[in-house]
Each structure stands twice: as structure tokens, then as C-alpha cells.
Amino acid sequence: MRAALLEEIHGELTIHDVRLTDIGPNEVLVNTVACGLCHSDLHFIEGTLPQRLPTLLGHEAAGIVEAVGEDVTEFKPGDHVVGCLNAHCYRCSQCIGGRTHLCENRLALQKRANGTSRVRFGDEEVFQLAGLGGFGEMMLAHESGLTKVPKELPLELGALLGCAVITGVGAVFNSARLQAGSTVAVVGIGGVGLNIVQGASLAGAERIIAVDLNPDKLELAKTFGATDCVNAGETDAVEAVTELTKGGADVSFEAIGLAATAKQAFQMIRPGGMTYLVGVSPAGTDYGFAGNEMVLKGRGVQGVYMGSNYFKRDVPMLANLYLQGRLKLDELVSAKISLDQINEGFAAMQAGTVARSVVIF
């Protein structure tokens, strides 16, 4: 199959013919229909998150089941599926505690049972990001790393549920468990931030303040439910949010992954408020919060991994919200591109001009 490989840090992705291994007993072979380009993929390309090379990136993917392993009962050929970043075992203490997104065995489940990769380029093993590798024409994944979605859901939109949407909406529903009537600030209005905005809107927030540097992103945020916008390039974002909320937001979310914006997000909550850190930062980043700014003001900071998702529960729920007309997905797609245009798609992300580019196979 054709796949876009990362062979060197800072390099362009290169299209090669690669091979998938035979289907293991608990694995599912999927014809990839669509895969979104996420900022986390860019972290690997830029080397800010280290990764083994060569790597097959792409983790926001959806497709149609082609074949299943002998022990798989949940899926059959023809099923429409969305890929999950965190395959899970249902047996470790995290899974038993209901935190399948933190499964202790997820890295093992992203490989074959014998510990080798499911993707080969010649004789070489190719690292399969998230056990999916959505930038290839086919995905071979562990059954726990997929979930079925209704066939009425267009798969190019279903793909987005697997990362941007679940990360953003999940941060609101699962981590913040946002109370209706809350005041919310969202710093960073990319694919993830837009979904925090629409999650807060679905949860009944009274005020949703979008903060970004890009006026186009702020306009888009309004259509996703933002009640106010702050251009952090023109005004002091902390002062602006503090003034709009008369003393600080109840809850803030950071969806970029920078120390400076994480600090801003923390400084714009009121005493007793909470900041949720959603953006993935370059390896080694130190956010450096002052302890007494938390203790004496009863404020907190919580990291949120992948919207604290329970994938097989949350993704079908989000699909149904879309089919009922209550969740925006079409508006997240700024560009549909071919696999051959993938480097242009990442260049557009670096330029900050798009919400999501989606590769259509």
C-alpha cells in the first residue's frame, strides 16, 4: 500500500510502498478513507516530540473494515470505524478504574503480539503511530483501538472525532465536567480549541471567551459558540478575560502547548477556578506555576490527555450529536487533500491558516 513516511526529523514526508503484516487474532484490517492532519503529527516532524524513524504518522483516521482476525467478534467487513489513539487492555488498574485513555498496556497493544511493528518498508520495521498509521491506504490495528460509527456519518468527518473533537469536547465533558452557567476561557483556537468551545457551548456555559492571535480563528470560534473574542496579539489576554468575567473565568483551557499561554490561562481564572492543560508541549517544557497562586487562592491546574476519553462510549455519542445537528464537524474541515499533498497540508498548519486539513484516500 502507499503510505507517507517520516524518514528524517524536519524532513518532508515521503510516499513509499509499504507492507502490512498478516492479521493477528485480535487485529482488524481497515481501508483508510480519511485522516486528519493534527498538530501532534507536526511535533514529530519537527522533532519536538521524539520518535523512532521511519515512522508512519496519522492518528485521526476513519475507514471501512476489510478483514478481521480470528478472535475478533466486535467488527465485521464493511463496518465503518474510527481509530483511537489509545488502544486499551480492559485489565490493568487504569482500565478497571475507568481510565482506558491511560491504559498501562497501550504501547504493547500498538504492536503485534510478538512486540514488532505491523508495518514494514522493505525489511525494515516502520513505527506505527498510535498503532494506527493513518497516513497509509490501509491500517492494521488492535480491536480495542477502533470503534464502530453509524454509516450515515461521512467518514471524512468521523476521522476528526478520533482526535480533535474528542480531545476538545472530552476535556469539557470528562475532565472539567463543566457546570451549566460557568464562565470559560479557551486559549488557542485550532482544531482542538474549537472543539473546547463547542463542548462548552453544549454544556451550557454562560460565557465562552476565545483567545487567539489570528482574527480568522476568532471569527470561526463565534460560529462554534464563543460569546466573546480576545486577540492576544492586540491586547493583554489576561486583563481582557479578567475584565470580561469581572474577576476571572471559572474555568480556562489551554490548547496550544506553550509555557507562556499555559501561564496566561492560569492567570485568567478567578480564585477557586481551574485551568485544564490540553495542548501537548515540546518535550521538557517547564510551565513553572507559583505554588501560592494555587494554594492561597484555591486554584488548580489539571493536565488532560486526549479528553480523558472512554473511546467506545464517547465516539458513538459524538457521532450521534452530529447526526442530530448539535455538533459541528463540516465547519472544522478547511481543506480536503490527497496523500500526495500532505506536505502542503503541514505547511498550511505551520502558517496557521487552517482549522483542519483532511487527507482523503
Out of 109, 256, 274, 342, name the contact with ligand APR by CB under 6 A: 256
Query: Which of the stretches 33-41, 114-122, 297-305, 336-344 binds ligand APR when contact is defined by CB under 6 A?
Result: 33-41
306 binds Zn ion per the rule CB under 5 A: no
Give the strand pairing for 124-128 and 80-83: unpaired
The size of the interface with Zn ion (CB under 5 A), counted in residues, is 3
Out of 63, 131, 273, 279, name the contact with ligand APR by CB under 6 A: 279
Q: How many CB atoms lie within 10 A of CB 205?
A: 27
* Whether the Cβ atoms of residue 10 and residue 61 lie closer than 8 Å to each other: no
* Residue closest to Zn ion, measured at CB: 38
Amino acid identity, residue 265?
A
Rg, Å, the chain Cα set: 20
218 binds Zn ion per the rule CB under 5 A: no
The burial class, CB within 10 Å (0-12 / 13-18 / 19+), for 78 is: exposed
40 binds Zn ion per the rule CB under 5 A: yes
129 binds Zn ion per the rule CB under 5 A: no
Question: From the CB of 278, what's the least distance to ligand APR, in Å?
Answer: 6
Query: Which of the stretches 169-177, 182-190, 244-252, 291-299 binds ligand APR when contact is defined by CB under 6 A?
Result: 182-190
Nearer to Zn ion, 164 or 249 (CB): 164
Torsion angle (degrees, nearest 10) of CA 38, 41, 45, 47: 120
User: Binders of Zn ion among 156-175, rule CB under 5 A?
Assistant: 163
Using CA atoms, how far apart are residues 39 and 212, in angstroms rounded to an integer?
16
Using CA atoms, how far apart are residues 312 and 315, in angstroms rounded to an integer?
6
Question: From the CB of 265, what's the least distance to ligand APR, in Å?
Answer: 10
Question: From the CB of 342, what's the least distance to Zn ion, in Å?
Answer: 15
* Whether the Cβ atoms of residue 295 and residue 276 lie closer than 8 Å to each other: no
At residue 175, φ and ψ (nearest 5 deg) are: -90, -60
Query: Which of the stretches 31-39, 147-155, 280-288, 319-327 binds Zn ion when contact is defined by CB under 5 A?
Result: 31-39
* Whether the Cβ atoms of residue 302 and residue 133 lie closer than 8 Å to each other: no
280 binds ligand APR per the rule CB under 6 A: yes
Active-site amino acid positions: 38, 40, 43, 59, 163
160 binds ligand APR per the rule CB under 6 A: no
Strands (E), 177-266: 183-187, 207-212, 228-231, 249-254
Nearer to Zn ion, 40 or 144 (CB): 40
Binding site for Zn ion (CB under 5 A): 38, 40, 163
Binding site for ligand APR (CB under 6 A): 38-40, 43, 167, 187-193, 211-214, 217, 232, 255-257, 261, 278-280, 349, 352
